[in-house]
Structure 1
Amino acid sequence: MNSLENSPVGCACLLLKSVSPSGRASTLSVLPVCFCILLLNEASMQDIVQGFVGDFALFPCHPETGQVKVHTAHWRYNDNKNVYDILNGQGTTKEQDAEYKGRTETFPAEYSKGNFSLRLGNLQKSDEGSYCCFIPEFDHNKCMDLQVTEKPREIQEKQDSDGGVESTAERIVSLLIPLFSATVLLCV
Protein backbone atom coordinates (compact mmCIF):
# COMPACT_ATOMS: atom_id res chain seq x y z
CA MET A 1 0.00 0.00 0.00
CA ASN A 2 1.35 3.44 -0.87
CA SER A 3 0.78 6.51 1.23
CA LEU A 4 1.76 10.09 0.76
CA GLU A 5 2.81 11.95 3.84
CA ASN A 6 3.56 15.63 4.07
CA SER A 7 6.92 16.77 5.30
CA PRO A 8 8.18 20.33 5.66
CA VAL A 9 6.63 22.91 3.38
CA GLY A 10 7.53 22.37 -0.25
CA CYS A 11 8.35 18.65 -0.04
CA ALA A 12 6.38 15.44 -0.03
CA CYS A 13 7.92 12.09 0.84
CA LEU A 14 6.64 8.78 -0.41
CA LEU A 15 6.47 5.98 2.12
CA LEU A 16 6.09 2.44 0.83
CA LYS A 17 4.27 0.07 3.14
CA SER A 18 3.28 -3.51 2.71
CA VAL A 19 0.33 -5.32 4.16
CA SER A 20 0.75 -8.95 5.17
CA PRO A 21 -2.05 -11.47 4.55
CA SER A 22 -2.98 -11.11 8.22
CA GLY A 23 -3.70 -7.41 7.60
CA ARG A 24 -0.71 -6.14 9.52
CA ALA A 25 1.07 -3.18 7.88
CA SER A 26 4.80 -2.83 7.93
CA THR A 27 7.05 -0.29 6.31
CA LEU A 28 9.12 -1.84 3.55
CA SER A 29 11.23 1.18 2.94
CA VAL A 30 11.14 4.88 3.37
CA LEU A 31 12.35 6.64 0.29
CA PRO A 32 14.67 9.40 1.42
CA VAL A 33 14.04 11.11 -1.86
CA CYS A 34 11.65 13.99 -1.55
CA PHE A 35 9.79 15.26 -4.52
CA CYS A 36 10.23 18.98 -4.31
CA ILE A 37 6.99 20.55 -5.21
CA LEU A 38 6.86 24.14 -6.14
CA LEU A 39 4.03 25.37 -4.02
CA LEU A 40 2.91 28.75 -5.13
CA ASN A 41 0.55 30.45 -2.81
CA GLU A 42 -2.30 32.47 -4.21
CA ALA A 43 -0.59 35.82 -3.65
CA SER A 44 2.51 34.88 -5.59
CA MET A 45 0.38 33.73 -8.52
CA GLN A 46 -1.36 37.08 -8.75
CA ASP A 47 -0.20 39.78 -11.08
CA ILE A 48 0.78 43.04 -9.44
CA VAL A 49 -0.74 46.31 -10.60
CA GLN A 50 0.95 49.46 -9.34
CA GLY A 51 -0.43 52.96 -9.18
CA PHE A 52 0.10 56.33 -7.55
CA VAL A 53 -2.23 58.10 -5.13
CA GLY A 54 -4.62 60.25 -7.17
CA ASP A 55 -3.87 58.46 -10.47
CA PHE A 56 -5.57 55.45 -12.03
CA ALA A 57 -4.86 51.73 -12.32
CA LEU A 58 -5.76 49.46 -15.23
CA PHE A 59 -6.75 45.87 -14.44
CA PRO A 60 -6.68 43.65 -17.55
CA CYS A 61 -9.28 40.90 -17.93
CA HIS A 62 -9.53 39.03 -21.20
CA PRO A 63 -9.75 35.24 -21.29
CA GLU A 64 -8.19 33.49 -24.27
CA THR A 65 -11.49 32.68 -25.94
CA GLY A 66 -11.75 34.84 -29.06
CA GLN A 67 -15.27 36.05 -29.77
CA VAL A 68 -17.56 36.13 -26.75
CA LYS A 69 -21.31 35.57 -27.12
CA VAL A 70 -22.40 36.23 -23.54
CA HIS A 71 -21.04 39.41 -22.04
CA THR A 72 -21.01 38.99 -18.27
CA ALA A 73 -18.15 39.72 -15.89
CA HIS A 74 -17.88 40.65 -12.23
CA TRP A 75 -15.13 42.69 -10.59
CA ARG A 76 -14.60 42.19 -6.84
CA TYR A 77 -12.23 43.62 -4.24
CA ASN A 78 -10.87 41.11 -1.69
CA ASP A 79 -13.62 38.69 -2.79
CA ASN A 80 -16.41 40.63 -1.11
CA LYS A 81 -16.78 44.23 -2.31
CA ASN A 82 -18.58 44.88 -5.58
CA VAL A 83 -16.32 47.05 -7.72
CA TYR A 84 -18.17 46.71 -11.04
CA ASP A 85 -20.54 44.36 -12.86
CA ILE A 86 -21.02 43.79 -16.57
CA LEU A 87 -24.32 42.00 -17.12
CA ASN A 88 -25.41 40.93 -20.61
CA GLY A 89 -23.09 43.44 -22.24
CA GLN A 90 -24.14 46.37 -20.04
CA GLY A 91 -22.02 47.91 -17.31
CA THR A 92 -23.92 48.45 -14.09
CA THR A 93 -23.14 50.19 -10.83
CA LYS A 94 -26.50 49.31 -9.26
CA GLU A 95 -24.95 47.11 -6.54
CA GLN A 96 -21.52 48.77 -6.60
CA ASP A 97 -19.94 49.54 -3.22
CA ALA A 98 -20.12 53.27 -2.48
CA GLU A 99 -16.34 53.78 -2.36
CA TYR A 100 -16.09 52.92 -6.08
CA LYS A 101 -18.91 55.19 -7.31
CA GLY A 102 -17.67 57.53 -10.04
CA ARG A 103 -14.20 55.95 -10.06
CA THR A 104 -14.64 52.95 -12.38
CA GLU A 105 -14.60 52.69 -16.14
CA THR A 106 -14.75 49.77 -18.57
CA PHE A 107 -14.57 49.52 -22.34
CA PRO A 108 -17.96 48.40 -23.75
CA ALA A 109 -16.75 48.32 -27.37
CA GLU A 110 -14.27 45.63 -26.28
CA TYR A 111 -16.76 43.27 -24.59
CA SER A 112 -17.45 41.37 -27.83
CA LYS A 113 -13.69 40.69 -28.07
CA GLY A 114 -13.66 39.26 -24.55
CA ASN A 115 -12.01 42.32 -23.00
CA PHE A 116 -13.57 43.14 -19.63
CA SER A 117 -10.69 45.28 -18.33
CA LEU A 118 -11.37 47.81 -15.58
CA ARG A 119 -9.90 51.23 -14.94
CA LEU A 120 -10.04 52.50 -11.35
CA GLY A 121 -9.41 56.21 -10.90
CA ASN A 122 -8.49 58.53 -8.03
CA LEU A 123 -6.47 55.82 -6.30
CA GLN A 124 -6.10 55.91 -2.53
CA LYS A 125 -3.86 53.86 -0.21
CA SER A 126 -7.03 52.19 1.08
CA ASP A 127 -7.60 50.74 -2.44
CA GLU A 128 -4.67 48.34 -1.98
CA GLY A 129 -5.63 44.68 -2.09
CA SER A 130 -6.79 41.95 -4.42
CA TYR A 131 -9.02 42.75 -7.42
CA CYS A 132 -10.58 39.78 -9.21
CA CYS A 133 -12.37 39.53 -12.53
CA PHE A 134 -14.74 36.58 -12.76
CA ILE A 135 -16.36 35.54 -16.06
CA PRO A 136 -18.90 32.82 -15.21
CA GLU A 137 -19.40 31.52 -18.78
CA PHE A 138 -15.76 30.46 -18.97
CA ASP A 139 -15.16 29.82 -15.27
CA HIS A 140 -12.41 32.43 -15.67
CA ASN A 141 -11.12 34.01 -12.47
CA LYS A 142 -8.20 36.46 -12.77
CA CYS A 143 -6.90 38.22 -9.65
CA MET A 144 -4.44 41.08 -9.40
CA ASP A 145 -2.86 42.69 -6.37
CA LEU A 146 -3.01 46.50 -6.35
CA GLN A 147 -0.16 48.41 -4.72
CA VAL A 148 -0.62 52.17 -4.31
CA THR A 149 2.29 54.48 -3.51
CA GLU A 150 2.77 58.22 -3.19
CA LYS A 151 3.94 59.97 -6.32
CA PRO A 152 7.69 60.58 -6.32
CA ARG A 153 8.56 64.18 -5.59
CA GLU A 154 9.80 66.09 -8.58
CA ILE A 155 12.92 68.25 -8.34
CA GLN A 156 11.92 71.86 -8.68
CA GLU A 157 13.84 73.46 -11.48
CA LYS A 158 13.99 77.01 -12.72
CA GLN A 159 15.54 78.47 -15.82
CA ASP A 160 18.51 80.69 -15.04
CA SER A 161 19.41 83.83 -16.98
CA ASP A 162 21.84 81.89 -19.22
CA GLY A 163 19.06 79.61 -20.44
CA GLY A 164 20.32 76.63 -18.38
CA VAL A 165 18.33 74.75 -15.78
CA GLU A 166 19.19 75.08 -12.12
CA SER A 167 17.70 72.74 -9.52
CA THR A 168 16.76 73.71 -5.98
CA ALA A 169 19.69 71.67 -4.65
CA GLU A 170 22.13 73.56 -6.87
CA ARG A 171 20.77 76.89 -5.61
CA ILE A 172 21.15 75.82 -1.97
CA VAL A 173 24.73 74.64 -2.52
CA SER A 174 25.61 77.85 -4.35
CA LEU A 175 24.36 79.86 -1.35
CA LEU A 176 26.10 77.70 1.26
CA ILE A 177 29.56 77.77 -0.34
CA PRO A 178 30.13 81.54 0.16
CA LEU A 179 28.64 81.35 3.67
CA PHE A 180 30.94 78.44 4.59
CA SER A 181 33.95 80.22 3.05
CA ALA A 182 33.24 83.39 5.04
CA THR A 183 32.94 81.37 8.27
CA VAL A 184 36.27 79.64 7.64
CA LEU A 185 38.01 82.98 6.93
CA LEU A 186 36.65 84.53 10.14
CA CYS A 187 37.89 81.59 12.21
CA VAL A 188 41.45 81.71 10.80
Structure 2
Amino acid sequence: MVSGGTFPYSSFSQKNNPQLAFTLSCTFTEGTPLSYSYIFYCFCSCSFICVIAALLNKVSLQVTVEAVIGGSVLLTCTSAARHKLQDTEVHWRHNGSRIVFDIIKGEDSLEKQHQWYKNRAETFPEEYMRRNFSIKLNDLSHADAGKYICYIKPSDEQETVKLILKDRENEKEEYAGAVSVGTPSHCVYIALFTVLIA
Protein backbone atom coordinates (compact mmCIF):
# COMPACT_ATOMS: atom_id res chain seq x y z
CA MET A 1 0.00 0.00 0.00
CA VAL A 2 1.40 3.40 -1.03
CA SER A 3 0.07 6.86 -0.12
CA GLY A 4 0.71 10.39 -1.36
CA GLY A 5 2.50 11.70 -4.46
CA THR A 6 3.31 9.84 -7.65
CA PHE A 7 4.10 6.17 -7.88
CA PRO A 8 6.73 5.46 -10.55
CA TYR A 9 5.55 2.31 -12.22
CA SER A 10 9.00 1.75 -13.71
CA SER A 11 10.48 0.63 -10.38
CA PHE A 12 7.58 -1.73 -9.80
CA SER A 13 7.73 -3.12 -13.34
CA GLN A 14 11.52 -3.58 -13.30
CA LYS A 15 11.26 -5.58 -10.11
CA ASN A 16 8.53 -7.86 -11.41
CA ASN A 17 9.16 -7.77 -15.16
CA PRO A 18 12.54 -6.34 -16.28
CA GLN A 19 11.51 -6.57 -19.94
CA LEU A 20 9.00 -3.72 -19.66
CA ALA A 21 10.72 -0.74 -21.22
CA PHE A 22 8.23 2.05 -20.60
CA THR A 23 7.28 4.02 -17.50
CA LEU A 24 3.71 4.50 -16.33
CA SER A 25 3.07 6.99 -13.54
CA CYS A 26 -0.17 7.02 -11.52
CA THR A 27 -0.83 10.24 -9.65
CA PHE A 28 -3.18 10.52 -6.70
CA THR A 29 -4.19 12.89 -3.92
CA GLU A 30 -1.90 13.13 -0.92
CA GLY A 31 -3.09 10.91 1.88
CA THR A 32 -5.10 8.63 -0.40
CA PRO A 33 -3.91 5.03 -0.19
CA LEU A 34 -2.96 3.43 -3.50
CA SER A 35 -2.81 -0.35 -3.72
CA TYR A 36 -0.75 -2.38 -6.12
CA SER A 37 -3.96 -3.72 -7.62
CA TYR A 38 -4.86 -0.17 -8.71
CA ILE A 39 -1.41 0.24 -10.21
CA PHE A 40 -1.93 -2.98 -12.11
CA TYR A 41 -5.31 -1.62 -13.30
CA CYS A 42 -3.55 1.51 -14.63
CA PHE A 43 -1.07 -0.66 -16.48
CA CYS A 44 -3.80 -2.85 -18.04
CA SER A 45 -5.83 0.20 -19.11
CA CYS A 46 -2.84 1.77 -20.82
CA SER A 47 -1.96 -1.49 -22.57
CA PHE A 48 -5.55 -1.93 -23.77
CA ILE A 49 -5.60 1.56 -25.26
CA CYS A 50 -2.31 0.92 -27.07
CA VAL A 51 -3.59 -2.36 -28.53
CA ILE A 52 -6.84 -0.75 -29.73
CA ALA A 53 -4.89 2.09 -31.36
CA ALA A 54 -2.69 -0.41 -33.19
CA LEU A 55 -5.70 -2.38 -34.41
CA LEU A 56 -7.47 0.75 -35.64
CA ASN A 57 -4.39 1.60 -37.67
CA LYS A 58 -4.60 -1.75 -39.45
CA VAL A 59 -8.38 -1.85 -39.93
CA SER A 60 -9.62 -2.33 -43.46
CA LEU A 61 -11.77 0.51 -44.73
CA GLN A 62 -14.45 -0.23 -47.31
CA VAL A 63 -16.42 2.08 -49.58
CA THR A 64 -18.96 1.40 -52.33
CA VAL A 65 -18.97 3.28 -55.64
CA GLU A 66 -21.28 3.08 -58.65
CA ALA A 67 -20.33 3.61 -62.27
CA VAL A 68 -21.77 3.15 -65.76
CA ILE A 69 -20.78 0.56 -68.35
CA GLY A 70 -18.41 2.15 -70.85
CA GLY A 71 -17.50 4.96 -68.48
CA SER A 72 -14.70 5.55 -65.96
CA VAL A 73 -14.40 5.30 -62.19
CA LEU A 74 -11.98 6.52 -59.52
CA LEU A 75 -10.92 3.92 -56.95
CA THR A 76 -9.51 5.76 -53.96
CA CYS A 77 -6.63 4.68 -51.73
CA THR A 78 -4.64 6.87 -49.35
CA SER A 79 -2.11 6.16 -46.63
CA ALA A 80 -1.83 7.74 -43.19
CA ALA A 81 1.65 6.32 -42.60
CA ARG A 82 4.77 8.46 -42.94
CA HIS A 83 7.13 5.92 -44.45
CA LYS A 84 9.46 7.11 -47.15
CA LEU A 85 8.08 6.69 -50.65
CA GLN A 86 11.16 4.66 -51.54
CA ASP A 87 10.18 2.14 -48.85
CA THR A 88 6.48 1.95 -49.82
CA GLU A 89 4.75 -0.70 -51.92
CA VAL A 90 1.14 -0.46 -53.12
CA HIS A 91 -0.69 -3.42 -54.63
CA TRP A 92 -4.14 -3.13 -56.22
CA ARG A 93 -6.02 -6.44 -56.55
CA HIS A 94 -9.42 -7.26 -58.07
CA ASN A 95 -11.56 -9.92 -56.39
CA GLY A 96 -8.59 -11.11 -54.38
CA SER A 97 -6.21 -12.26 -57.11
CA ARG A 98 -6.13 -10.27 -60.35
CA ILE A 99 -3.24 -7.81 -60.43
CA VAL A 100 -4.67 -4.44 -61.39
CA PHE A 101 -1.71 -2.18 -60.61
CA ASP A 102 1.50 -2.18 -58.57
CA ILE A 103 3.43 0.83 -57.32
CA ILE A 104 6.91 -0.08 -56.07
CA LYS A 105 9.14 2.52 -54.41
CA GLY A 106 7.19 5.36 -55.99
CA GLU A 107 7.36 3.89 -59.51
CA ASP A 108 4.65 2.19 -61.56
CA SER A 109 5.34 -1.52 -61.97
CA LEU A 110 3.36 -3.13 -64.81
CA GLU A 111 5.36 -6.31 -65.45
CA LYS A 112 2.83 -8.53 -63.64
CA GLN A 113 -0.29 -6.53 -64.49
CA HIS A 114 -3.19 -8.66 -65.73
CA GLN A 115 -3.86 -8.24 -69.44
CA TRP A 116 -7.45 -7.24 -68.70
CA TYR A 117 -6.31 -3.89 -67.23
CA LYS A 118 -3.67 -3.02 -69.81
CA ASN A 119 -4.09 0.60 -70.98
CA ARG A 120 -7.27 0.89 -68.87
CA ALA A 121 -5.87 1.43 -65.36
CA GLU A 122 -4.02 4.65 -64.67
CA THR A 123 -2.55 6.29 -61.57
CA PHE A 124 -1.58 9.80 -60.53
CA PRO A 125 2.21 9.82 -59.92
CA GLU A 126 2.17 13.48 -58.91
CA GLU A 127 0.01 12.46 -55.93
CA TYR A 128 2.34 9.75 -54.59
CA MET A 129 4.22 12.17 -52.35
CA ARG A 130 0.87 13.05 -50.73
CA ARG A 131 0.33 9.33 -50.02
CA ASN A 132 -2.51 9.22 -52.56
CA PHE A 133 -2.38 5.94 -54.50
CA SER A 134 -5.83 6.08 -56.12
CA ILE A 135 -6.34 4.62 -59.59
CA LYS A 136 -8.71 5.40 -62.44
CA LEU A 137 -10.28 2.55 -64.41
CA ASN A 138 -11.51 3.37 -67.90
CA ASP A 139 -13.79 1.71 -70.47
CA LEU A 140 -15.73 -0.24 -67.84
CA SER A 141 -17.51 -3.52 -68.55
CA HIS A 142 -19.59 -5.90 -66.45
CA ALA A 143 -16.49 -7.97 -65.69
CA ASP A 144 -14.99 -5.01 -63.79
CA ALA A 145 -17.60 -5.22 -61.02
CA GLY A 146 -16.53 -6.57 -57.65
CA LYS A 147 -14.08 -5.78 -54.86
CA TYR A 148 -10.84 -3.90 -55.37
CA ILE A 149 -8.34 -4.04 -52.52
CA CYS A 150 -5.45 -1.64 -52.09
CA TYR A 151 -2.63 -3.10 -49.95
CA ILE A 152 0.00 -0.71 -48.61
CA LYS A 153 3.31 -1.96 -47.19
CA PRO A 154 5.15 -1.78 -44.82
CA SER A 155 2.35 -0.04 -42.87
CA ASP A 156 -0.04 -2.99 -43.48
CA GLU A 157 -2.86 -0.64 -44.44
CA GLN A 158 -5.72 -1.96 -46.52
CA GLU A 159 -8.62 -0.24 -48.28
CA THR A 160 -11.45 -1.98 -50.12
CA VAL A 161 -13.61 -0.46 -52.83
CA LYS A 162 -16.75 -2.29 -53.95
CA LEU A 163 -17.60 -1.38 -57.53
CA ILE A 164 -21.21 -1.65 -58.74
CA LEU A 165 -21.84 -1.18 -62.47
CA LYS A 166 -25.03 -0.09 -64.24
CA ASP A 167 -26.08 -0.13 -67.89
CA ARG A 168 -26.35 3.24 -69.61
CA GLU A 169 -29.99 2.47 -70.53
CA ASN A 170 -30.91 2.06 -66.86
CA GLU A 171 -29.11 5.29 -66.05
CA LYS A 172 -31.08 7.16 -68.74
CA GLU A 173 -34.37 5.65 -67.57
CA GLU A 174 -33.69 6.69 -63.97
CA TYR A 175 -32.81 10.22 -65.11
CA ALA A 176 -35.87 10.46 -67.35
CA GLY A 177 -38.07 9.26 -64.49
CA ALA A 178 -36.64 11.87 -62.18
CA VAL A 179 -37.22 14.61 -64.76
CA SER A 180 -40.80 13.54 -65.49
CA VAL A 181 -41.66 13.49 -61.81
CA GLY A 182 -39.96 16.72 -60.87
CA THR A 183 -40.77 18.85 -63.96
CA PRO A 184 -44.33 20.03 -64.91
CA SER A 185 -45.46 19.18 -68.46
CA HIS A 186 -45.96 21.78 -71.19
CA CYS A 187 -49.72 21.44 -70.75
CA VAL A 188 -49.47 22.79 -67.22
CA TYR A 189 -47.54 25.84 -68.43
CA ILE A 190 -50.14 26.48 -71.16
CA ALA A 191 -53.00 26.18 -68.64
CA LEU A 192 -51.32 28.64 -66.27
CA PHE A 193 -50.69 31.08 -69.09
CA THR A 194 -54.36 30.86 -70.17
CA VAL A 195 -55.56 31.59 -66.64
CA LEU A 196 -53.31 34.61 -66.32
CA ILE A 197 -54.47 36.27 -69.56
CA ALA A 198 -58.19 35.44 -69.02
Which category describes the TM-score, using the shorter chain as reference length?
Answer: 0.5 to 0.7
Q: In 2, distance between residues paired with 1:144 and 1:96? A: 19
SS of structure 2 residue aligned to 1:133: strand
Q: In 2, distance between residues paired with 1:58 and 1:92? A: 19
Q: In the alignment, which residue of structure 2 is the partner of 1:50?
A: 66
The answer on 1:84 being equivalent to 2:101 is yes
Q: In 2, distance between residues paired with 1:120 and 1:47? A: 16
Q: In 2, distance between residues paired with 1:73 and 1:121? A: 20
Listed as ranges, the matches of 1:35-114 within 5 Å are: 46-65=62-81, 68-69=84-85, 70-114=87-131
Q: Is the 8 A contact 1:68 1:114 kept in 2?
A: no
Q: Is the 8 A contact 1:85 1:91 kept in 2?
A: yes
Match of 1:146 among 157, 163, 182: 163
CA apart distance, 1:66: 5.1
Q: Is the 8 A contact 1:66 1:113 kept in 2?
A: no
> Which structure ranks higher in relative contact order (CA pairs < 8 Å, sequence separation ≥ 6)?
2
Q: Is the 8 A contact 2:88 2:153 kept in 1?
A: no
Q: In 2, distance between residues paired with 1:67 and 1:107? A: 19
User: Scaled by the length of structure 2, what TM-score is found?
Assistant: 0.53
Q: In the alignment, which residue of structure 1 is the partner of 2:147?
A: 130
Instruction: Give the unaligned 5+ runs of structure 1.
Output: 1-44, 157-168, 171-188
Number of equivalent positions: 116
Instruction: Give the unaligned 5+ runs of structure 2.
Output: 1-60, 177-184, 187-198
SS of structure 2 residue aligned to 1:153: helix
Q: Is the 8 A contact 2:120 2:139 kept in 1?
A: yes
Point out the structure with the larger helix share: 2
CA apart distance, 1:114: 0.7
CA apart distance, 1:101: 0.6
Cα distance change on mapping 1:123 and 1:138 into 2, 3 Å = same
Q: Is the 8 A contact 1:71 1:111 kept in 2?
A: no
Q: In 2, distance between residues paired with 1:104 and 1:91? A: 11
Cα distance change on mapping 1:68 and 1:115 into 2, 3 Å = farther
> Letter of the aligned partner of 2:136 in structure 1?
R
Q: Is the 8 A contact 1:67 1:114 kept in 2?
A: no
Q: In 2, distance between residues paired with 1:73 and 1:95? A: 13
CA apart distance, 1:137: 1.3
Q: In 1, distance between residues paired with 2:84 and 2:132? A: 9
Point out the structure with the larger strand share: 1
> Letter of the aligned partner of 1:143 in structure 2?
T
Identical columns (%): 32
Cα distance change on mapping 1:113 and 1:67 into 2, 3 Å = farther
